Structure 1
């Protein structure tokens, strides 16, 4: 058996007996070897260059490799949003120097600023150096956003809108730029509440502009002369802050996350003196005329209805807010009836405590 196997193996050609034919593509085998050698060389050179570049990168600024904006990120400081942290509107007279605190995240060197009218993209004022928290307001009434400029680039500052007011002094014979305002009591009687310093100038495009987390410009429009544009309104930023604090207090009773789901219905915001005289049972020197007051309704217990219970809850929230923030003290009027549309609370920031109840 063993000899047969050996014989069978010997019948097969051995390596020494194999002869390569003359036409065997030996060149292809050589070419393959050359290709692999070339690939290896390229990989080695590439790796060397990569390591060299990585070494050099430690000695070069990032700007050598990545284009970046030279205008640093910036946002209004926390103090700009009031005690509630939710006031989104600052106020100024034309060309007035005001405090506009910013948190700048980057190099503030050589920064400039200018103003852009809300709804537009072009600069409406010339660039000025930004050297601190003081800026000059635009010379024309309207709503504006701040833009930071540096080396031909610009970046808008979001979150806070500047309202430049129309000065009260422009009112003549009860009219302000063709809009009927009327006459304030202090214009006729000494010692009465001074009239507001100025008025928001409101166009139809401004009505939905947010001025707090829950309020917009349109909530404070005068209820007469509808369809007359521009319209004008006085608004006290302290009132905006107080209303947001009241909402936050109510939300705290439900769990702080509920604040996002709470709606506030403003029954009455600004009332021009001419309009106030036509409102039944309105005080002759109503705080609404000064932008210091708002009549509001909130579904405070979350049952989907506005009842006397909600009104009492709002009143309690006002009391708590005034205890925590004495600078926001003012009037509180409770109005309840059998109709939900007549259930509301009057809230103002007159600077002294006042309390009363009214019917529907």
Structure 2
């Protein structure tokens, strides 16, 4: 009797152990409630319309509390009913605003300047949308004289002339050291638009117009097309992005009202033919690509300066999106 009981206990233990060790294949679990729940969660992403005509813009620059065009691509749901959103700080992931319902293609920007990512929630499931990010600006009106929070910016031509209707940036992105490598586009980063002055204090302040970001990416795409390539992988050097008026006044040959002051210009050197060198022929190819992009996208019309003088270490091009066509050589 004792032997029989021992045998039963042993066989029961083996059965339990086998059940614990055995993991049924995934296809047998496909109908389980957990798997069904996972499949039922709609996938949320930023719609392509948020990334410009190039599809490569990865940062929006907006005023605090502004309604931002930010359509969402939701797969697995018929509407936005039940979805809520919240902006979170880049890097820390800490919430920066209250939860709000998704009620259309526009979202309300946070009230505090900074860099943000979007978090979308439904039925207790949160999804982070890392791109495009949002840069909420410090309003231009908070600049006191020539400084903003201790950072020397200088005065704009409209300020010197006391022209209230004169052109000024909407505001400035507040940049700390940890923000320098945040992507603006596929090929451009925040550091590319920070003024190359000698100020060592942080934060720094930067004006950026997303139109020039979109335009540069379209130029790179056109260069790739002319090389018979699908991917725009180029060596790109940004000599100058945003310039404060103070710094611009010390740049030899710069215009007093340079487009660099308004964040819609960049001086770039692009290895257009991919031979590993930056030459005059590269600059000419960039010039042709800019002309073509402006024909296809007249809303991005602007200036193009080809700088090929021997006094420059390498030829480069000034590209801007001022709204009207301008051409020059230097």
Q: Flag whether TM exceeds 0.5 (same fold).
A: yes
Once the two structures are superposed, residues 290-314 of structure 1 have per-residue CA deviations (whole angstroms, 9 ceiling, x without a partner) of 0011100001112211111111111
Matched, 1:346 2:318: yes
Matched, 1:154 2:126: yes
Shift of 1:64: 6.8
Tell me, yes or no, if the aligned pair for 1:203 and 1:229 is still in contact at 8 Å: yes
- Of structures 1 and 2, the larger Rg is shown by 1
Pairs within 5 Å for 1:184-333 = 184-189=156-161, 190=163, 193-260=166-233, 262-333=234-305
Output the CA distance in 2 between the equivalents of 1:290 and 1:267: 16
> What is the SS of the residue equivalent to 1:310?
helix
Shift of 1:126: 1.3
User: What RMSD over aligned residues (CA atoms) do the two structures have, in Å?
Assistant: 2.4
Shift of 1:129: 1.1
Q: How many residues align?
A: 302
> What is the SS of the residue equivalent to 2:57?
coil
Q: Show structure 1 runs of 5+ residues with no match.
A: 1-56
TM norm structure 1? 0.79
Tell me, yes or no, if the aligned pair for 2:146 and 2:155 is still in contact at 8 Å: yes
The structure 1 segments of at least 4 consecutive aligned residues displaced by more than 6 Å after TM superposition are: none
Shift of 1:191: 8.3
Shift of 1:97: 1.6
Tell me, yes or no, if the aligned pair for 1:305 and 1:340 is still in contact at 8 Å: no
> What is the SS of the residue equivalent to 1:159?
strand
Residue 6 of structure 1 is matched in structure 2 by: none
| Alignment partner of 2:51 out of 81, 91, 95 | 81
Residue 102 of structure 1 is matched in structure 2 by: 72
Shift of 1:205: 0.7
> What is the SS of the residue equivalent to 2:60?
strand
Shift of 1:159: 2.4
Tell me, yes or no, if the aligned pair for 2:278 and 2:314 is still in contact at 8 Å: no
Output the CA distance in 2 between the equivalents of 1:356 and 1:64: 64
Output the CA distance in 2 between the equivalents of 1:69 and 1:232: 44
| Alignment partner of 1:90 out of 49, 54, 60 | 60
Output the CA distance in 1 between the equivalents of 2:34 and 2:286: 59
Q: How has the CA–CA distance of structure 1 residues 219 and 112 changed in structure 2, closer, same or farther, with 3 Å as cutoff? A: same
Output the CA distance in 2 between the equivalents of 1:78 and 1:123: 25
